[in-house]
Amino acid sequence: MLANVICIIACKTSIAQTAPVDSSSQQHAFNNAVILYNTSIGEQSPLYNGPEYFFYDPTTKGNAYFMDVNAFTPGSVYYDGVYYTGVPMLYDLYSDEVAVLLYNHFSKYSLIKYRVKSFDFLDHHFVNIDVDTLSGGSSIKSGYYDELYNGKTEVLVKRSKSVQTNTGGVTASERYYSPSRDFYIRKNKVYYSVSSQGSLLDIFKDKKKELQQYVKANEIRFRRDPEDAMVKVATYYDHLTN
């Protein structure tokens, strides 16, 4: 059985080349084969070849994780050319690392970042961007980005946490995790930083007048909801330029 599963995985590329469009049943069968393969090989899975992961000092208030979820939760990851599903994972926003739980439900490992193409976690899709592969002019750093929209243009959010110290109280200083977000638009293979509604519209200056009318008519406010505003404007821009 294991040999058959390995064959299915190894032959994935050649199957995709001979069939222009994979049916949903074929994809479902392949995903099940991958799960069976990972279960069969246990600790020998290529997924478990990163450095050991350690939790942080518990005295720091809050936690370092995406959506404050500090328990290993099933997700999916595209790792070293293989798509793994049902992987117990954490997304550490402080170190920008994905930690996974070994099959024994005790050992914890960090995935080797350059081997991660993307992962899905808590209904969000994250992509791994390597600036060394980008053309010049992009104002973005390497790391994992929450991909909110991917069409002709792309909308990304860099989510992170830093450790801050509160020294204003009457008691001893307190360390805590502070979340932050940075916003980006990809247009014509260049990534632009977005900090306001004006900077967002400037990126799409070739259709700025139409977008200003769209924003006004739909009462879109970047300050109120930056992520929603970026997705709506980028989607409408793609519609105008198709």
Q: Which of 218, 209, 211, 202 has the alpha carbon at shortest distance from 237?
A: 211
d(CA 106, CA 18): 42
Question: Can you read off the two tokens belonging to residue 215?
Answer: 């924003």
Res 41: pLDDT: 45
Q: What is the mean pLDDT of each run of 10 residues along the chain (242 residues)?
A: 36 37 56 51 66 93 96 93 90 97 82 96 97 83 97 98 83 88 95 96 96 97 96 98 92
Question: Can you read off the two tokens belonging to residue 156?
Answer: 């990304």
Contact 38, 47 (CB under 8 A): yes
Burial class (CB in 10 A: 0-12, 13-18, 19+), 123: exposed
Domains of the chain, residue spans? 1-44
Determine the Cα angle at 126 with ends 223 and 222, to 5°. 10
**Helix 208-217 / helix 226-241 crossing angle, nearest 10 deg:** 130
Q: What are the DSSP calls for 107-143, one per residue?
A: -EEEPPGGGEEEEEETTEEEEEE-GGGSPTT----SE
